[in-house]
Structure 1
Amino acid sequence: MAATNKTLSLMARGREFLGSETAILCGAMSWVSERNLVAAISNAGGFGVIACGAMTPELLDAEITATKALTEKPFGVNLITMHPMLFDLIDVCSSHGVGHVVLAGGIPPKGSVEAIKSGGAKVICFAPTLMLGKKLLRAGADALVIEGMEAGGHIGPVSTSVLAQEILPVLAEEHLVFVAGGIGRGEAMAGYLEMGAAGVQLGTRFACASESIAHPDFKKMFFRASARDAIASVQVDPRLPVIPVRAIRNKGTEAFTAKQREVALKLDAGEVDMGAAQLEIEHFWAGALRRAVIDGDVEGGSVMAGQSVGMVKEEEPVAQIMASLMEQSEAALTTRSAA
């Protein structure tokens, strides 16, 4: 990528931290970010991240082993903080010498950051606010990802552009901050790098790559969708703190509304506590996403996608997507420097 020197220069800190040719991470998408896509992204100069999701330690162990067989380049593992076997999953990552662990889904439980670092890995955490970002850095996080509501899957309430303006000027000079959410082209990537981001994270852009195992019907939904088709789920009961999920509108989004009512009634009846209620919601999403990604049930399943889905028009190899992003970024930076 010798022709993209301006972009690579702005990515220097992120590239060094990740150990990859570019500072472009692939967002961890359950059922999608598995061995094939992760290895393809790392082999193409990016940084692939395995989505552990609801995997057992045994399944994660097998997935890391299989990914290592497909790439010698660095890759990371994304772990959900509310997973009941989180510390066992951390042990699996440590046993494989995984260099970077991404913690998602909430504030890391006590001892988890220390456990990851004691195994030799770097810790990356999601920060939806400046205050929480500072807290996570004090707690030992080596880098942050700030992800806006434009993203697919679980989202926060604030847009990427606003988060970047709030957080990058304060933290980016002394800390590594990656920007995610709604990034579909290299020009946007260049803008965030100029603002001080160490790199970027994209998910939706890679979901329909040639190397993605997602069902052909899942990919077709992406190709047909526009930005406004990727909608955020609605919270039915304010007592049930369900993190909104962005997905392409279908019957599955209606099913989630019904699921929330069902779980809220269980909560009222004392059949489950809040932790179990949230876990039941997570299991719902994991099952609904699997039906869409693996089985091709794009009406009843969950077709998680960010608002950048309107920019995904065809199946492309990962290497081509990466090259396009870098070329677009470089062209934008070159134009700005010449002005």
Structure 2
Amino acid sequence: MTTLPMLTIRGRTLLPIVQGGMGVGVSAHRLAGAVAKEGALGTIASIDLRHHHPDLLERCKADSARATLEVANQEALAREIGAAKRLSEGRGMIAVNVMRAVSSYADSVRTACESGADAIVMGAGLPLDLPDLTEGVDIALIPILSDSRGIALVLKKWLKKNRLPDAIVIEHPAHAGGHLGVAHLADMQDARFDFARVIAETMQTFDTLGIERTRIPLIVAGGVNSHEAVRACFAAGAAGVQLGTPFAVTEEGDAHPNFKRILAEAAPEDIVDFVSVTGLPARAVKTPWLMRYLKNEERIRTKIGARKQNCPTGLDCLAVCGLRDGIEKFGHFCIDTRLSAALRGDVANGLFFRGREALPFGSAIRSVRELLDLLLGATRPAAA
């Protein structure tokens, strides 16, 4: 077994490795269930899971009303939670990642609670109302934040609701993939995001608020790709680590093999930072569509930047969207269309989010178990 300390979340003892949520459909029931079955925390990304369910896609094709699309997405999420729980065989935990920036975030929280998820992980905005949405439900609440100021704000707001997070994920915007917890691209290397600093300042906040230092596990995310990196995070005071991209390319990952190949084969010079339609900085692989978009970004901003558009999918997935709402400084493309193209392996037209660091197995595609063993520095007995 691992010599690292185990991670305890809401009374559940877990391996100290957390699989991050990745949409659209990249982390669904197969990946999350496989991670949980090994005794860790697996995460389903709640965004637009219809793409794993042909019958729901057909229903939406027959009736493209937004209400129909929303109901189908919630049904897909409920199905994925159930399938992941069955696959996990009662081990580990199954979490649902919900983006605060998504218009249907409250519906996804309710579906997660009603469908038996063990935890809700919320990022892409401050989850100040998450305790209200889950009142009376026995479910772990885990916000994703990037600096100690954000953590202090959430703690103070939640304390007024007589609730504390069951864990906190600290995501470093300079290393993570996908949407990043910083307002501007230029801020990503700011020293306030250094894990050791955030952890130390958060411990001081715990002291000020009268919270025991061991009460809320701090889980760091971004740039973790080896057993040595895991140990360095623990030395800085972390209670666990979260990874996204290394799990996305495992054999059990829910995306198309082309998706895994694009992420696994990307060199450092193939990865680029840009502004998403959410207004948040994002990190992805330089694929043909993204390079065309970035080449023409200024021209696109000049031409349609301040002009409101109809949502291309009819889903209106984001609460605020640069394309739909005509926000000039945001990105101008349909993120759901591009991420779903990536999920099905469309290399020419997809948006392939990825972290910046090299992957643990290089360009090789390996299993969830092998990844966990490498990170833990352990050879464990086969699961029963």
Q: TM-score, normalising length from structure 1?
A: 0.83
- Residue deviations 1:24-65, cap 9 Å, x none? 111101121100000111112221010002352222111111
C-alpha separation in 2, matches of 1:226 and 1:209: 18
C-alpha separation in 1, matches of 2:300 and 2:131: 34
Note closer, same or farther for the CA distance 1:121–1:278 as it changes in structure 2 (3 Å cut): farther
C-alpha separation in 1, matches of 2:355 and 2:178: 7
Give the CA deviation at 1:183.
0.8
Match for 1:138: what amino acid?
K
Note closer, same or farther for the CA distance 1:213–1:94 as it changes in structure 2 (3 Å cut): closer
Match for 2:30: what amino acid?
N
**Contact map agreement 1:204 1:309 (CA 8 A) in 2:** no
Q: Residue 24 of structure 1 aligns with which residue?
A: 17
Q: Residue 169 of structure 2 aligns with which residue?
A: 145
C-alpha separation in 1, matches of 2:354 and 2:287: 12
**Contact map agreement 2:8 2:217 (CA 8 A) in 1:** no
**Contact map agreement 2:300 2:332 (CA 8 A) in 1:** no
Note closer, same or farther for the CA distance 1:146–1:255 as it changes in structure 2 (3 Å cut): farther
C-alpha separation in 1, matches of 2:302 and 2:156: 35
Q: Residue 288 of structure 2 aligns with which residue?
A: 251
Match for 1:42: what amino acid?
A
Give the CA deviation at 1:68.
1.7
Partner SS for 1:268: coil
Note closer, same or farther for the CA distance 1:223–1:60 as it changes in structure 2 (3 Å cut): closer
**RMSD in angstroms over aligned alpha carbons?**
3.0
Note closer, same or farther for the CA distance 1:76–1:264 as it changes in structure 2 (3 Å cut): farther
C-alpha separation in 2, matches of 1:47 and 1:194: 21
Q: Which is helix-richer, 1 or 2?
A: 1
Give the CA deviation at 1:313.
2.1
Give the CA deviation at 1:117.
4.2
Match for 2:342: what amino acid?
A
Name the count of aligned residue pairs: 316
Q: Residue 334 of structure 1 aligns with which residue?
A: none
Match for 2:36: what amino acid?
S
Q: TM-score, normalising length from structure 2?
A: 0.74
C-alpha separation in 2, matches of 1:79 and 1:189: 25
Q: Which runs of 5+ in 2 are unaligned?
A: 50-72, 159-163, 204-212, 311-317, 325-330, 380-384
C-alpha separation in 1, matches of 2:106 and 2:198: 30
Match for 2:175: what amino acid?
E
Give the CA deviation at 1:147.
1.0
Note closer, same or farther for the CA distance 1:302–1:136 as it changes in structure 2 (3 Å cut): same
Q: Residue 304 of structure 1 aligns with which residue?
A: 353
Q: Residue 152 of structure 2 aligns with which residue?
A: 134
Give the CA deviation at 1:218.
1.9
